[in-house]
């Protein structure tokens, strides 16, 4: 059999324990035909075969990004970007420029706001936001998407100025004047403001398991497809060929299926059904229908996503003991324990995979307890239920991940690098058990890594660097760093396993789909501190080139000195 494409002279890390290294990969149609030494693989070349000389650079299975939000991440690229904006003057200038450029926008919307954007001790409240913009609705999303800050005009337009009573865990923060301060905590509090936007909040509906209330117009669908293509192209530039979207609805699956039929879907995408505490469990019928209707090699569902708690910074993560910076406060789970256990058992009975956002050690424990209960009630099977984030894990629970076959789905870029609101809440007693990647791996847990884009930049190479170079924020914390090979596995083979795709992708072996990522140098020769600055020069998805830039002449030597890398050229 003749190959369509052969990548040769590579340092291929196959993620296959039987043959971990190779020089060359041959591709025929959408499959890997062969993987091995140049001499053997190049024998598959015919007159029509395209040859790519990798010049000694690292060739990997296409990256699997195991937790991201494609629709909101892609949409976010069109918004006011607040990362790095500090102080009221800088904020005022950024908002004024954005407002002038978007004169028709119903809501001026920024993302990536730091909780301390105005400086320590200065609250981001409606009074501060009114100073930068009084006459038009303005809202700024915190970088973690758990808090939204709105000005008075936005609060009034959303009907929140006089407060609103909401289910536990969601809060319109009220001031001493009896009016909302402008700080809106968690999804149900911030949705009324998001609905003011021109996109109508369609990219956020999947976070609540909702479908568009009225069928989107042809123009709206075209705009949504345009936004999704932006996001997919961004992912391809970062070498991503598989992604587990962590919010979802049928509308998103239908949009992605449209791209698949056009031949423009450039990654395998898993889309869950999102079950909220407010929904009767009969809504899981919708999850089962999505699992049945979307079960191909490119587009799958079969996953139920739930939020069990919030985040440490805002005190909404559920901890077993008091927050160190808020005595008497432990946070609470968004589902009651009985309700959550019942929901898990029912989703599990349907044969669905479950992914639960659990950040605090109380939420992690309740998730593990509920997964254990489901296994008792429904009997043994290959479940691969997941805990998303698992940022604080009680040491007694570390071994339970492996015992229960639960996947720790974690985000290396999220670990704090210095003392801040997160670390103040965790405190010194829990700090050794926070972001405990090494402890979980050593306890035998299955694990997968990701960015949670748009919460962190969508860059597996940055994630690899973060996981290899992590430093504790207090002296003498245990070393939680992982080795290059452990981290690469999380972004390839183990990520594919977490998505039930190990028979399709995640390794470079004969017969799997041709999903590959070529870097601009030898990742094993680059200092860990410089891996995030490496570039993806080629992304191949399903046998087709999804992203390409010119391969440096002597890739391996150049990348040992990343500061001397020339500006890459687009082909």
Q: Summarize as ranges the residues that interact with Zn ion (CB under 5 A).
A: 246, 452
Query: Based on CB atoms, which residue is closest to Zn ion, 246 or 259?
Result: 246
Query: Based on CB atoms, which residue is closest to Zn ion, 450 or 517?
Result: 450
3 state SS for 513-570:
ECCEEEECCCCCCCCHHHHHHCCEEEEEECCEEEEECCCCCCHHHHHCCHHHCCCCCC
Sheet containing 31-36: which strands, arranged edge to edge?
A: 31-36, 24-28, 5-8, 50-53
Token match 């290396």: residue?
412
Nearest distance from residue 491's CB to Zn ion, in Å? 17
Nearest distance from residue 246's CB to Zn ion, in Å? 4
Nearest distance from residue 452's CB to Zn ion, in Å? 4
Query: Based on CB atoms, which residue is closest to Zn ion, 5 or 355?
Result: 355
Three-state secondary structure call for residue 52: strand
3 state SS for 113-152:
ECCCCCCCCCCCCHHHHHHHCCCCCEEEEECCCCEEEECH
Query: Based on CB atoms, which residue is closest to Zn ion, 452 or 520?
Result: 452
CB atoms within 10 A of CB 81: 15
Query: Based on CB atoms, which residue is closest to Zn ion, 452 or 542?
Result: 452
Query: Based on CB atoms, which residue is closest to Zn ion, 114 or 452?
Result: 452
First to last CA, the chain: 30
Query: Based on CB atoms, which residue is closest to Zn ion, 182 or 248?
Result: 248
Nearest distance from residue 411's CB to Zn ion, in Å? 8
Query: Based on CB atoms, which residue is closest to Zn ion, 331 or 454?
Result: 454
Phi, psi of 93 (to 5 degrees): -65, -45
Query: What is the distance between the alpha carbons of residues 512 and 354, in angstroms, rounded to a whole number?
Result: 26
Nearest distance from residue 69's CB to Zn ion, in Å? 6
Nearest distance from residue 247's CB to Zn ion, in Å? 7
Are 210 and 170 a contacting pair, CB within 8 Å?
A: no
Nearest distance from residue 453's CB to Zn ion, in Å? 9
- Closest among 129, 163, 474, 189 to 316, alpha carbons compared: 189
> Could you tell me the two tokens for 161?
């100025």
Nearest distance from residue 149's CB to Zn ion, in Å? 20
User: Do strands 268-270 and 240-245 pair parallel, antiparallel, or not at all (unpaired)?
Assistant: parallel
Question: How many helices (H) and strands (E) are present in the chain, helices listed first?
Answer: 18, 26
Nearest distance from residue 287's CB to Zn ion, in Å? 18
Query: Based on CB atoms, which residue is closest to Zn ion, 44 or 246?
Result: 246
Query: Based on CB atoms, which residue is closest to Zn ion, 181 or 245?
Result: 245
Query: Based on CB atoms, which residue is closest to Zn ion, 185 or 481?
Result: 185
Helix (H) or strand (E) holding 242: strand 240-245
Nearest distance from residue 169's CB to Zn ion, in Å? 16
Are 452 and 67 a contacting pair, CB within 8 Å?
A: yes
Query: Based on CB atoms, which residue is closest to Zn ion, 224 or 452?
Result: 452
Are 137 and 153 a contacting pair, CB within 8 Å?
A: yes
Query: Based on CB atoms, which residue is closest to Zn ion, 98 or 145?
Result: 145
Nearest distance from residue 189's CB to Zn ion, in Å? 18
Nearest distance from residue 275's CB to Zn ion, in Å? 15
Three-state secondary structure call for residue 274: strand
* Residues whose CB is less than 8 angstroms from the CB of residue 96 and which lie 6 or more positions away in sequence, other chains included: 132, 133
CB atoms within 10 A of CB 422: 22
Cα dist from 402 to 348, 445, 503, whole Å: 18, 5, 22
Nearest distance from residue 456's CB to Zn ion, in Å? 10
Query: Based on CB atoms, which residue is closest to Zn ion, 368 or 455?
Result: 455
> Could you tell me the two tokens for 175?
């001031």
Q: How many Å is the maximal CA-CA distance in the chain? A: 79
Three-state secondary structure call for residue 253: helix
Beta-bridge partner residues of 111 = 81, 141
Query: Based on CB atoms, which residue is closest to Zn ion, 236 or 246?
Result: 246
Nearest distance from residue 388's CB to Zn ion, in Å? 6
- Closest among 140, 133, 128, 73 to 99, alpha carbons compared: 133
Nearest distance from residue 5's CB to Zn ion, in Å? 35
Task: Give, as one character, the DSSP assignment of residue 323.
Answer: B
* Residues whose CB is less than 8 angstroms from the CB of residue 488 and which lie 6 or more positions away in sequence, other chains included: 13, 15, 60, 464, 523
Task: Give, as one character, the DSSP assignment of residue 309.
Answer: -
């Amino acid at each position: 059999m003749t190959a369509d494409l052969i990548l040769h002279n590579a340092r291929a890390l196959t993620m296959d324990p039987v043959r971990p290294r190779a020089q060359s990969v041959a591709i025929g149609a959408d499959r890997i035909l062969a993987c091995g030494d140049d001499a053997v693989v190049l024998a598959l070349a015919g007159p029509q075969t395209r040859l790519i000389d990798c010049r000694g650079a690292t060739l990997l299975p296409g990256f699997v990004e195991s937790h991201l939000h494609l629709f909101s991440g892609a949409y976010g690229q069109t918004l006011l970007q607040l990362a790095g904006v500090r102080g009221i003057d800088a904020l005022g200038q950024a908002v004024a420029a954005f407002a002038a450029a978007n004169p028709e926008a119903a809501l001026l919307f920024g993302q990536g706001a730091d909780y301390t954007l105005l400086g320590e001790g200065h609250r981001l409240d409606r009074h501060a936001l009114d100073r930068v913009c009084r006459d038009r609705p303005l809202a700024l999303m915190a970088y973690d998407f758990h808090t939204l800050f709105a000005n008075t005009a936005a609060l009034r337009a959303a009907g929140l100025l006089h407060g609103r009573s909401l289910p536990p865990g969601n809060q319109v923060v009220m001031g001493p004047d009896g009016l909302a301060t402008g700080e809106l905590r968690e999804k149900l509090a911030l949705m009324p403001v998001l609905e003011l936007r021109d996109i109508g909040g369609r990219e956020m509906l999947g976070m609540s398991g909702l479908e568009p209330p009225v069928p989107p117009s042809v123009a709206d669908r075209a705009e949504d497809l345009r936004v999704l293509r932006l996001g997919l192209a961004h992912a391809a530039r970062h070498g991503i060929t598989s992604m587990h979207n962590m919010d979802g609805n049928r509308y998103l699956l239908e949009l992605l299926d449209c791209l698949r039929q056009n031949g423009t879907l450039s990654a395998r995408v898993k889309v869950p059904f999102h079950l909220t505490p407010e929904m009767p469990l009969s809504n899981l019928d919708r999850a089962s229908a999505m699992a049945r209707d979307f079960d191909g090699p490119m587009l799958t569902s079969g996953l139920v996503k739930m939020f069990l708690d919030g985040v440490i910074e805002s005190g909404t993560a559920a901890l077993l003991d008091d927050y160190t910076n808020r005595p008497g406060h432990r946070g609470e789970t968004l589902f009651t324990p009985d309700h959550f256990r019942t929901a898990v058992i029912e989703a599990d009975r349907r044969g669905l995979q479950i992914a639960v956002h659990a950040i605090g050690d109380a939420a992690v424990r309740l998730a593990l307890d509920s997964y254990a209960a489901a296994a008792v009630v429904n009997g043994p099977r290959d479940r691969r239920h997941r805990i998303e984030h698992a940022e604080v894990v009680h040491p007694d629970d570390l071994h339970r991940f492996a015992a229960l076959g639960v996947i720790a789905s974690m985000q290396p870029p999220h670990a704090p690098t210095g003392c801040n609101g997160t670390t103040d809440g965790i405190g010194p007693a829990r700090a050794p058990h926070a972001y405990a990647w090494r402890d979980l791996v050593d306890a035998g847990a299955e694990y997968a890594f990701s960015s949670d884009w748009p919460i962190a930049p969508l860059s597996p190479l940055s994630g690899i660097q973060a996981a290899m170079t992590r430093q504790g924020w207090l002296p003498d914390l245990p070393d939680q760093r992982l080795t290059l090979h452990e981290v690469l596995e999380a972004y390839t083979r183990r990520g594919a396993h977490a998505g039930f795709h190990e028979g399709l992708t995640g390794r470079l072996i004969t017969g799997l789909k041709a999903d590959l990522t070529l870097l601009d140098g030898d990742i094993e020769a680059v200092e860990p501190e410089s891996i995030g600055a490496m570039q993806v020069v080629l992304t191949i998805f399903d046998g087709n080139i999804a992203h390409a830039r010119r391969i440096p002449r002597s890739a391996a030597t150049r990348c040992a000195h990343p500061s001397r890398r020339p500006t890459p050229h687009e082909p």
